[in-house]
Structure 1
């Protein structure tokens, strides 16, 4: 092998090595860009219970950097699913005049900085009575970012655990209407009229 051939091989090897290094840097840059994209659309859904003498409410807030697509949201009282927020006053043993305001959460989108009042119960001593009921209340929530990364609070270890995907929660309107019928049944109205 002549010296000219050896020099050609050395130059070729150097070119291949430089190409491999450039390819490595391009790959690392691509990974960094992906992480920056993930961070730019990263939602963080927080829950807040607000209580005062006349009201008790639950609010979801997006404190992250991107919209939160909420796929699952469940309220449980002492391990049992609350089918409709109208059931909450009975757990707090509210009597007299009170009102309940609710919002549908599954399939909703929380933009950055947006608050969603999930339910609010108003009435005499509602806040104080709700305070004792909240001790038995648990929330299950699963939401995703725009790029498909999802988080759930189902883990007992961490409030916000990354998950592969959220399930789609079907809201059973008939079930919710049954709850409302049970709460405002004609038998109750007859007793109120007689009393």
Structure 2
């Protein structure tokens, strides 16, 4: 069958229309991806962890564990875990009993030693919430504050403070957080790594 000139032109036009349509669709999809990446970048959160032993504005010795959102978008912290010596820190008293009481205290008495120190006012910790919290851009939260006890009137607490000041450098942290677009990251310190994850870990109930 012979194809007339008119028919050939019609076929050429039809094929051209299809090609243009496909190209337009490709461009639209690519533009949509670019716009989405731009929006994601415009609200990117970055949670950082730090620890210190002195507050310069207050001129006060105080151990702190701090989390800061240094990004440009809000962050929801869905999981946070402090660890030391390969073990998670789930109870402050148990952690101090492991790390920071005098070696002369027998292992079976270390936890009661810490409880007595708290009860007798030798030392005190202040806590704030991190897990389950929304961090605004540039928001800074002191998760733990331990003011230095007086060496004369609180010698037991002062000794624990000094030991904890050395120990804090060996602590490790995992923190998982998400953006408003449900993009999530797992950050690890002191490694200073940050990797995207499909979802954050779910902490098992304490009674299980």
Look up the match of 1:144: 178
Deviation at 1:10, TM superposition (A): 1.2
Look up the match of 2:71: 64
* TM-score, normalisation: structure 1: 0.77
State which of 40, 44, 47 in structure 1 corresponds to 2:46: 44
Q: Per the alignment, in what secondary structure is the counterpart of residue 73 of structure 1?
A: strand
In structure 2, the gaps of 5 or more residues are 55-59, 103-116, 150-157
After superposition, the C-alpha distances for 1:140-165 in whole angstroms (9 at most, x for unaligned) are 21111111111113599761111111
After superposition, the C-alpha distances for 1:21-59 in whole angstroms (9 at most, x for unaligned) are 111110110110111121122110001111137211011
Paired residues in the alignment total 174
Choose 19-28 or 154-163, whichever is displaced more: 154-163
In structure 1, the gaps of 5 or more residues are 175-195
Look up the match of 1:164: 198
Residues in 1 aligned to 2:124 and 2:200: alpha-carbon distance in whole angstroms = 32
Assess if the C-alpha contact under 8 Å between 1:99 and 1:122 holds in 2: yes
Look up the match of 1:179: none
Q: Per the alignment, in what secondary structure is the counterpart of residue 193 of structure 2?
A: coil
Residues in 1 aligned to 2:142 and 2:124: alpha-carbon distance in whole angstroms = 14
Assess if the C-alpha contact under 8 Å between 1:67 and 1:145 holds in 2: yes
* TM-score, normalisation: structure 2: 0.73
Look up the match of 2:147: 122
Question: Are residues 112 and 73 of structure 1, via their aligned partners in 2, closer, same or farther at CA, if it must alter by over 3 Å?
Answer: same
Look up the match of 1:81: 88
Deviation at 1:64, TM superposition (A): 0.8
Look up the match of 2:165: 131
After superposition, the C-alpha distances for 1:94-125 in whole angstroms (9 at most, x for unaligned) are 97732210112211111111011110111235
